[in-house]
Amino acid sequence: MNKRDFIAIGVVVLLSVLGFVFFALKGSGGQTVKISVGARVYGTYPLSENRELKIKTDAGYNLVEIKNGRVFVKDADCKDKSCVKQGEISGGSIVCLPHKLVVEVTGEGDFDAVAR
Ligand SMILES: [Zn+2]
């Protein structure tokens, strides 16, 4: 086996690894985080992308973090902080009653909810 063969095999291996990573990320990217305040949808975000969202309402603020396929309320200035205590979720919802904030993880193929 000469050097050129070795490089060719290396490229094939690299491409298949990248392909695997791509599909693995895509596969877990079907879930969506929907954040709503009262009756208003604040926004929808893919669960697969890490981000931090500071949501300000008339009642106060919530710091929502999406990290590694999970979502949680990192900080809030509500009185009971029950939304913070609800911890990380990868399904279901977190509710902050004083701020009328709902963080909801919707499953794959639930695109109607996003379009509405
Ligand atoms: Zn709260």
pLDDT in tens, 39-84: 999 999 999 999 999 999 889 999 999 999 999 999 999 999 999 9
Two tokens, residue 116: 């509405």
For residue 58, give the CATH number of its domain.
2.60.320.10
Q: Could you give the angle at the alpha carbon of 101 between the alpha carbons of 80 and 56, nearest 5°?
A: 90
Confidence of residue 21 (pLDDT cuts 50, 70, 90): confident
For ligand 1, the distance from its centroid to the CA atom of residue 82, given in whole angstroms, is 5
For ligand 1, the distance from its centroid to the CA atom of residue 62, given in whole angstroms, is 7
Residues 22, 50 share a domain: no
Residues 18, 35 share a domain: no
How confident is the model at residue 25, as a pLDDT? 61
Residues 95, 63 share a domain: yes
For ligand 1, the distance from its centroid to the CA atom of residue 54, given in whole angstroms, is 13
Mean pLDDT confidence for 73-98: 96
Give the chain's domain count.
2
| Segments forming the whole domain that contains residue 19 | 1-29
With CA atoms as reference, report the closest residue to 70 among 36, 28, 109: 28
Q: Which residues surround ligand 1, an ion (CB under 5 A)?
A: 76, 78, 83, 96
Report whether pLDDT(115) > 70: no
Residues 90, 60 share a domain: yes
For ligand 1, the distance from its centroid to the CA atom of residue 44, given in whole angstroms, is 19
CB-CB contact of 62 with 83 (8 Å): yes
How confident is the model at residue 20, as a pLDDT? 80
For ligand 1, the distance from its centroid to the CA atom of residue 80, given in whole angstroms, is 6
